[in-house]
């Protein structure tokens, strides 16, 4: 039977509920509602309240496609907490930052439920933060990277309050995937985030960080759809739904801007963190190489088939002309190894088309994050997920999230017509291995295999049975070894 549990936070008492041996608190405000003067402003800590805050349901989602939000729905800047023992002292803390193309996502996603992780002995926290125009568009008169500033505010809330839930504010691990991992890469180097976490797990780091000029051009295109300028003053009176519709309209026209926006025009989103020299001083790889996060332990990696779910040409015949155009736009302009055609002679044009997108968008940015963090003096571990149950999707983007949280539907696995006979049992084992390694890292700073270094590139490879071996994608590494991931700018 569910039993209520009250905890006193810095702002007031919150009431959660015991659910299956884990105390769960949902929808706790960590910042003021981003409406009115606060709409495009940096977050401000939530005010105190009298009485008891019923933290029994998730807060409303922030504005995003399919879920336009208004202040009438309540405060969307909230955190959720799962604790195995609210009377404990010093439990490790894991703070989840969801992905979603910097455009969507919510902490109420059932695939990212923290109960299973928390039941293993950690306090899990997740958050909503502003996305889309509200959180990541360049807006004149507003601070950049408002969504990441929200995350910093949530991490400050963790520092001030997690001990009341049994957690250790001195042992906080941030973990996130895709856009969430891109935010974590930024947080590693942002002065405002210094001291707010001890460790980081970055799953499938995207390689896109925008200059102010590129971000401003994209925002101008979005604002044009509704006949205004991309300024805080002009946008203040525009509804969230109208901005979402304008973003969707501009996104459908991104290919028209390829000559000025470059490869950004071919990505699945018009948003990325903005490198402005202030909120985000530089691209993460450059800052990490200079030692910006040498005191933070980093676990970073990717899935093998990162682009499969995004690939618009999957299952069709890719022409050599289409491949050439893709290589010209995405692959490093020069390398001494002959490029993709030379190093992957057995691959079809379709396979190479997908591979170069995998490498440019997620795989090589993640590997280079490991390289630069090691170069800057930080302790680093690398992984790759190669297991899959579905040959059409492969080891796809986001599969590692389902495995770590333990929310992959075993019925979906069993019922897939192409699944291996023991795919469901494999899913359980692979998920258990990954979850155990993530928990070990959050608890001790060591996931259980040798640290990464650029000579051996020791990598934990999650297949049906995990192994530790040299980095499996060595041919791609050779192609990208001298490439510098840096700020994307207008061409």
Give catalytic residues, as residue numbers: 178, 306, 397
d(CA 463, CA 362): 19
Instruction: Quote the DSSP letter at residue 93.
Output: E
d(CA 139, CA 145): 10
Residue 229 and residue 62 in contact, taking contact as beta carbons nearer than 8 Å: no
d(CA 16, CA 84): 13
Q: Which of 182, 59, 178, 189 is nearest to 126 (CA)?
A: 59
Q: Which of 450, 9, 366 is nearest to 459 (CA)?
A: 450
What token pair was written down for 79?
Answer: 């955190």
For the stretch 80-119, what's the b/e string if a residue is b when 16 or more beta carbons lie within 10 angstroms of its beta carbon? bbbbbbbeeeebbbbbbbbbbbbbbbbbbbeebbbbbbbe
Residue 292 and residue 440 in contact, taking contact as beta carbons nearer than 8 Å: no
Residue entry with tokens 């682009």 = 307
Q: Which residues contact 346 (CB under 8 A, 6 or more apart)?
A: none
Q: Is 263 exposed, middle or buried (0-12, 13-18, 19+ CB in 10 A)?
A: middle
d(CA 454, CA 359): 18
């Amino acid at each position: 039977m569910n039993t209520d549990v009250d905890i006193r936070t810095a702002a007031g008492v919150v009431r959660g509920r015991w659910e299956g041996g884990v105390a769960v608190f949902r929808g706790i405000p960590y910042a003021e509602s981003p409406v009115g003067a606060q709409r495009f402003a940096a977050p401000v800590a939530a005010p105190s309240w009298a009485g008891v805050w019923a933290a029994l349901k998730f807060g409303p989602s922030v504005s995003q496609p399919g879920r336009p939000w208004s202040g009438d729905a309540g405060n969307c800047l909230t955190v959720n907490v799962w604790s195995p023992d609210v009377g404990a002292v010093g439990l490790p803390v894991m703070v989840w930052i969801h992905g979603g193309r910097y455009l969507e996502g919510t902490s109420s996603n059932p695939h990212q439920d923290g109960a299973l992780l928390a039941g293993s002995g950690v306090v899990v926290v997740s958050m909503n933060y502003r996305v889309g125009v509200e959180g990541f568009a360049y807006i004149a008169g507003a601070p950049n990277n408002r969504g990441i500033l929200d995350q910093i505010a949530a991490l400050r809330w963790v520092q001030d309050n997690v001990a009341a839930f049994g957690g250790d504010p001195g042992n906080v691990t941030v973990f996130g995937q895709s856009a969430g991992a891109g935010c974590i890469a930024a947080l590693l180097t942002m002065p405002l985030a210094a001291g707010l976490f001890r460790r980081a797990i970055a799953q499938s780091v995207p390689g896109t960080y925008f200059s102010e000029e590129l971000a401003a051009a994209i925002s101008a295109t979005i604002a044009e759809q509704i006949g205004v300028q991309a300024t805080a003053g002009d946008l203040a009176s525009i509804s969230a739904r109208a901005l979402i519709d304008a973003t969707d309209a501009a996104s459908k026209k991104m290919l028209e801007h390829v000559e000025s926006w470059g490869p950004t025009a071919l990505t699945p989103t018009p948003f990325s963190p903005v490198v402005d020299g202030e909120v985000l001083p530089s691209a993460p790889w450059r800052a990490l190489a200079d030692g910006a996060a040498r005191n933070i332990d980093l676990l970073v990696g990717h899935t093998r088939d990162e682009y499969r779910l995004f690939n618009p040409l999957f299952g069709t015949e890719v022409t050599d002309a289409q491949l050439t155009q893709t290589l010209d736009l995405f692959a490093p302009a020069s390398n001494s190894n002959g490029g993709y055609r030379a190093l992957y002679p057995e691959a079809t044009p379709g396979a190479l088309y997908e591979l170069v997108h995998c490498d440019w968008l997620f795989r090589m940015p993640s590997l280079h994050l490991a390289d630069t963090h090691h170069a800057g003096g930080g302790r680093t571990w690398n992984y790759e997920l190669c297991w899959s149950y579905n040959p059409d999707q492969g080891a796809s983007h986001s599969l590692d999230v389902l495995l770590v949280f333990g929310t992959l539907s075993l019925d979906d696995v069993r019922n897939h017509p192409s699944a291996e006979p023991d795919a469901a049992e494999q899913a359980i084992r692979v998920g258990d291995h990954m979850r155990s390694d993530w928990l070990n890292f959050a608890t001790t700073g060591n996931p259980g295999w040798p640290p990464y270094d650029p000579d051996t590139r020791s990598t934990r490879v999650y297949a049906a049975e995990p192994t530790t071996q040299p980095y499996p994608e060595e041919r791609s590494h050779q192609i990208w070894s001298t490439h510098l991931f840096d700020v994307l700018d207008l061409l």
